[in-house]
Amino acid sequence: MTKIFIYGIDGAPPELIFDRWKADLPNISALIENGIHARMESTIPPATNIAWNSMLSGQDASKIGVFAYTYKDNDGNTRLVSSNNIKTELIWDILGDKKRTISLFVPLSFPVRPINGMMVSGFLTPDIDSDCAYPKELKEKIKKLGSTDNFFDVTQGLAGHKSLDIDTLLKRTYEMSDMQTTLMKDLITSEDWDLFITVLIGTDRLQHMLWQHFDQTHRRFIKDSKHKDALKDYYIYLDKKLGEILNLLDDDTIIIVASDHGMARQEGKININNWLMQEGYLKLNKDIKEKTRFKFELIDKSSRAWATGAYHARIFVNKDLEDWQITLEEIENKLKLIPDDKGEQLNTKVFRKEDIYDDPDAEGCPDLTVYFDDLSWASNPDLGQEGLYSWETAVGADSAGHSRQGCFIIAGPGIKKGKLGVIDIRQIAPTLLRLLDQEIPKTIKHKPIEVT
Amino acid sequence: MTESNITTISLPKVLAEKIKKRIEGTGFNSVSSYVTYVMRQVLSNVESQDKPKEAFSEQDEKKVKERLRSLGYLD
C-alpha cells in the first residue's frame, strides 16, 4: 500500500534548493535526480497560513476563507484567525476513515480537531497548555523533548523576533527544529499512517532576517558578515535531518519535499496608506504624527479606499461609493505607476478579486491585491511614516520577503523522473488523493500532476 | 470573469429601466454589473453575521498577536 511522507520546508526558494546550494544538500539532490521536481506557484497572496492550507485542500484563499492573519468578529473587533476560520475540507477530512494521517506543525491547524490519525498544531499555537495536540497524550511526548516555550516557534516568550540578536535566533531555531524532527522520527516508526505531513518553519524565520548577510545583490548587503553561511548551514542541517528520516521510511513510501512560497531580497517598503492619502482616497479621523499601525478605527467615513497587508497590499474600496467601479479602476491604474525611490519604473502587479478568486464575494476578500515590483518591494500600511518609502515597519526591518514560487519535489516507488514546468499549489491535494487511490472531490477544480 | 461563470436572471422591466437611469454616469456599464455589485453588498452583510468560533482566550490572543507583529505578519 502506498504511503506518502511530506517534508515541508517553509518558504524554501527554488533558486536556493534547485540551484545555488543543491550540491551541498545530498539528500534533497538525490530526490531531485531520482524523481520529479518543479517550481510551484503559491497562493495569492503567498502567505504561510493560506498557502499550506491551499496545498492540503486544492482551494484558493477565498474558498479557504482566510486572506490575512486577522478577521473582524461580530463586534467589529480585529481577531486572530485560527483553524475555526477554515471553510473548506482539508486532505484529512477528505480521506476520512479511509486513510490515517499524521499532521505535524501545519500552519493554522490550531486549535486541533479530532482526525483519523494524529495532529500537532503549528506556529500560531499559544502554548503547550492549549488545544495543540490530538490525541492530548501527545503533549507528554512533546514535554520530554525540551523547553516547550520554544517548541512551536522561535519567537515565543520573546519581546520580538526582529529585535533578537542573530546568535540567539539561530540557537532557538536549531533547538526548535531538533525537538520537532525528533517527534517526527518517533511517530514515523511508532505509529501506523498512510499520509505523514510536516512543516518546518525555521527557514522562514531565518530568511527574513539573514538575506542581506549572504546575497551580494541586496541593497543593504553586509560584507564579510560572520553570519554569511548561517542560512546555508541551516539548510545543510535540514538536509541531514531529512536523510535520517529517509532511513526510517519503508520502501513503499513516496517522499515529497515542498515549500509554500519562495523568498526574495526586499528592496524596501511602499507606504501604501500614505499614498492613498496623498492621492485623496484615504482620510483619517485623527492627526497621526508618530509611527502607528494602521487600524480600521482610524478611517474617516468619507474615505474612498484604504489598505492593509504587509508584503503584499490589500486594497478595499468603500462599498458605499456611487462611483465604486470608476474609483477601483483609477486606483488600479495609478498603483502601477508608482516608481521606486530612485524614480525607476516597477513591475507592479495588481489583481482584481474576480480575476483571481473562485469566490470573490467571500467575507474579507480585498477588491485589489497588489504585488509591488512583483513582491521585490513590500507594502507598509503603517501610518505616521514620512513620504512614500520606508525601510522598516513600526516593528522593525526586513531582509527578505515572500516571493511567488516555492519548490515541489516528489520521488519514490512508481514516480517518474524529470523536471516539470511551473505547477500550481492547488494541484497537490488532488495529486495526493490520486496516489492514495482515493476519489478526488468535484469541488477540487485543479488537476493532479502526472507523476507516475 | 469568464462567460462560463455567468448566468442569466430575470428582472421586472420597470426595475431594469430604473436601474439603467440610476447608473448613468456612475461607472457601472450595465444593469448586470450594478445588480452584481448590490447583491454582493447585501450578501456580505448577511454572511458577516455567521462568524467562526473564537479559538483564543484574550491572553493567548495577545501572546500570538505579539509574536506575529514581531515577525512583521500583522498589519
Please indicate whether, in this complex, the C-beta atoms of A159 and B75 are within 8 angstroms of each other: no
CA A302, A305, A306 angle in degrees (round to 5)?
Answer: 110
**A171 touches B: beta carbon within 8 Å:** no
- Is A58 in contact with A429 (CB distance < 8 Å)? yes
Please indicate whether, in this complex, the C-beta atoms of B70 and A319 are within 8 angstroms of each other: no
Homologous superfamily (CATH) of A3-266+402-435 is Alkaline Phosphatase, subunit A (3.40.720.10)
Cell of A242: 531529512
Out of A240-249, A274-283, B60-69, which region has the weakest mean confidence (pLDDT)? B60-69
Return the sign of the alpha-carbon dihedral for residues A39, A43, A44, A47: negative
Given the C-alpha cell 493560506, which residue does it identify? A50
Query: Would you kindly state where each structural domain of chain A is located, as residue ranges?
Result: 3-266+402-435, 268-397
Domains in chain B: how many in total? 1
Cell of A313: 497590499
Question: What pLDDT sits at residue B41?
Answer: 75
Between CA A420 and CA A408 the distance in angstroms is 10
B21, part of any domain: yes
B73: pLDDT strictly greater than 90 = no
Please indicate whether, in this complex, the C-beta atoms of B27 and A326 are within 8 angstroms of each other: yes
Specify the pTM: 0.90
Cell of A449: 500532476
How close, in Å, is residue B4 to chain A by CA atoms? 13
A-chain CB neighbours of B28 within 8 Å are: 325
Closest listed residue to residue A366, CA positions, set A16, A33, A61: A61
Which residue from B minimizes the CA distance to A325?
A: B27
B61, part of any domain: no
B-chain CB neighbours of A382 within 8 Å are: 75
Please indicate whether, in this complex, the C-beta atoms of B33 and A325 are within 8 angstroms of each other: yes
- Is A308 in contact with A322 (CB distance < 8 Å)? no
A293: pLDDT strictly greater than 70 = yes
Which residue from B minimizes the CA distance to A383?
A: B75
Quote the ipTM score. Answer: 0.75
Please indicate whether, in this complex, the C-beta atoms of B63 and A161 are within 8 angstroms of each other: no
Pick the CATH number of A268-397 from 2.30.30, 1.10.3470, 3.30.1360, 3.30.530: 3.30.1360
pLDDT tens by residue, B46-70: 665 566 778 899 889 988 888 887 7
Chains A & B: contacts with CB separation below 8 Å: 116
Averaged pLDDT of chain A: 93
Question: In angstroms, what CA-CA distances link B5 with A219, A354, A364, A443, B2?
Answer: 45, 10, 21, 15, 6
How close, in Å, is residue A210 to chain B by CA atoms? 13
Radius of gyration for the alpha carbons in chain B, expressed in angstroms and rounded = 21
**B51 touches A: beta carbon within 8 Å:** yes
B62, part of any domain: no
**B27 touches A: beta carbon within 8 Å:** yes
B33, part of any domain: yes
Question: What pLDDT sits at residue A158?
Answer: 41
A-chain CB neighbours of B21 within 8 Å are: none
DSSP tag of A388: S
pLDDT tens by residue, A201-210: 999 999 988 9
Strand segments (E) across A266-397:
268-271, 305-308, 313-317, 349-352, 368-371, 377-380, 389-390, 392-393, 396-397
For A122-141, b/e burial (b = at least 16 CB within 10 A) is bbbbbeeebbbbbeeebbee
Question: What pLDDT sits at residue B47?
Answer: 63
A162: pLDDT strictly greater than 60 = no
Please indicate whether, in this complex, the C-beta atoms of A126 and B60 are within 8 angstroms of each other: yes
- Is A360 in contact with A63 (CB distance < 8 Å)? no
B71, part of any domain: no
B69, part of any domain: no
Cell of A66: 482566510
Question: What pLDDT sits at residue A80?
Answer: 92
Q: Which ranges of A2-64 would DSSP assign to H, the alpha helix?
A: 14, 26-34, 48-55, 61-64
B44, B47, B72: residue with CB nearest A393: B72
**A421 touches B: beta carbon within 8 Å:** no
Owning domain of residue B16: 10-50
Tell me what the mean pLDDT of segment A426-444 comes to: 98
Biggest alpha carbon–alpha carbon distance for chain B = 57
- Is A384 in contact with A92 (CB distance < 8 Å)? no
Cell of A117: 490519525
DSSP tag of A76: S
A155, A326, A382: residue with CB nearest B67: A155
What kind and span of H or E run contains A92?
A: helix A91-95
Instruction: List the single best residue of A274, A322, A352, A445 to mutate versus B (max B Cβ within 10 A).
Output: A322
Between CA A212 and CA A284 the distance in angstroms is 36
